[in-house]
Chain A
Amino acid sequence: QVQLVQSGAEVKKPGSSVKVSCKASGGTFSTYAINWVRQAPGQGLEWMGGIIPIFRTANYAQKFQGRVTITADESTSTAYMELRSLRSEDSAVYYCARASVESTVVTPLDYWGQGTLVTVSS
């Protein structure tokens, strides 16, 4: 059974950066895309980007281009999402989620992490 375990909650100052980790177990890591989806309080789901670890190249939503970096470490089966220049509107729960089909980002997301709450406040 695939499990995704994310790092703990963070409180950050505006203008700073946050890096959230997502450790996978119980399945193949390298060939399934790990995506990052965020959810602001009481709001809907927003895709930020995704990476297929074996290919090492990430796709990003235009909205986050230049401000987000998604990476993956095959040796530890861990994916990372770093968001820079944080503002209050970035306060949200950040989820990692695995693609259901190998070698593509464009699939349903069948396994999700538990979510990481990031709070941006001065």
Chain B
Amino acid sequence: DIVMTQSPDSLAVSLGERATINCKSSQSVFYSSNNRNYLTWYQQKPGQPPKVLIYWASTREFGVPDRFSGSGSGTDFTLTISSLQAEDVAVYYCQQYYSIPLTFGQGTKVEIK
């Protein structure tokens, strides 16, 4: 199984400041045949199911604000919220879809400082 490890477990950021979440996979999730990283980012707010923010490591889902961006390749990935808004308070998960079983990071809780 591919193990996904996020850091930090939680972070507190002031409104308008940048938030950065890291995700590391135990093996590469990059397919050279199509030049894609099989990595997605979700946002989960309390009492709600997760919502896709980013797929293919860096492609923003339709309707997701452009303050959310994803980067990285191979085994190391980053989700960046460029200017934190109050509505961004949530837990963020990375997930690989390179192979079965689908696996998630343990989550990073983002709060307002």
Contact = CB atoms under 8 A, between A and B. Distances in A.
A94 B31 CA distance: 31
B56 to A, nearest CB: 9
B97 A106 contact: yes
B101 A108 contact: no
The size class of the interface chain B forms with chain A is 20 to 34
A112 B101 CA distance: 18
Given A44-B107, A106-B38, A108-B55, A97 B49 contact: yes
Contacts of A107: 97
A113 B99 CA distance: 23
Contacts of B61: 110
B96 to A, nearest CB: 9
B86 interface: no
Given A100-B52, A115-B49, A47 B93 contact: no
B93 A44 contact: yes
The size class of the interface chain A forms with chain B is 20 to 34
Contact of A106 (B55, B99, B105): B99
B50 A47 contact: no
Given A106-B97, A108-B97, A46 B55 contact: no
A17 interface: no
A114 B51 CA distance: 12
Interface in B71-113: 93, 95, 97-107
Given A106-B38, A108-B95, A47 B101 contact: yes
B41 to A, nearest CB: 9
A112 B40 contact: no
Contacts of A59: 100-101
Contacts of B1: 62
Interface of B: 1, 38, 40, 42, 49-52, 55, 61, 93, 95, 97-107
21 contacts: A44-B93, A45-B42, A45-B50, A46-B104, A47-B101, A47-B103, A50-B102, A59-B100, A100-B52, A106-B38, A106-B99, A108-B40, A108-B52, A108-B95, A108-B97, A109-B95, A109-B102, A110-B52, A110-B61, A113-B49, A114-B49
Interface of A: 35, 44-47, 50, 59, 61-62, 95, 97, 100, 105-110, 112-115
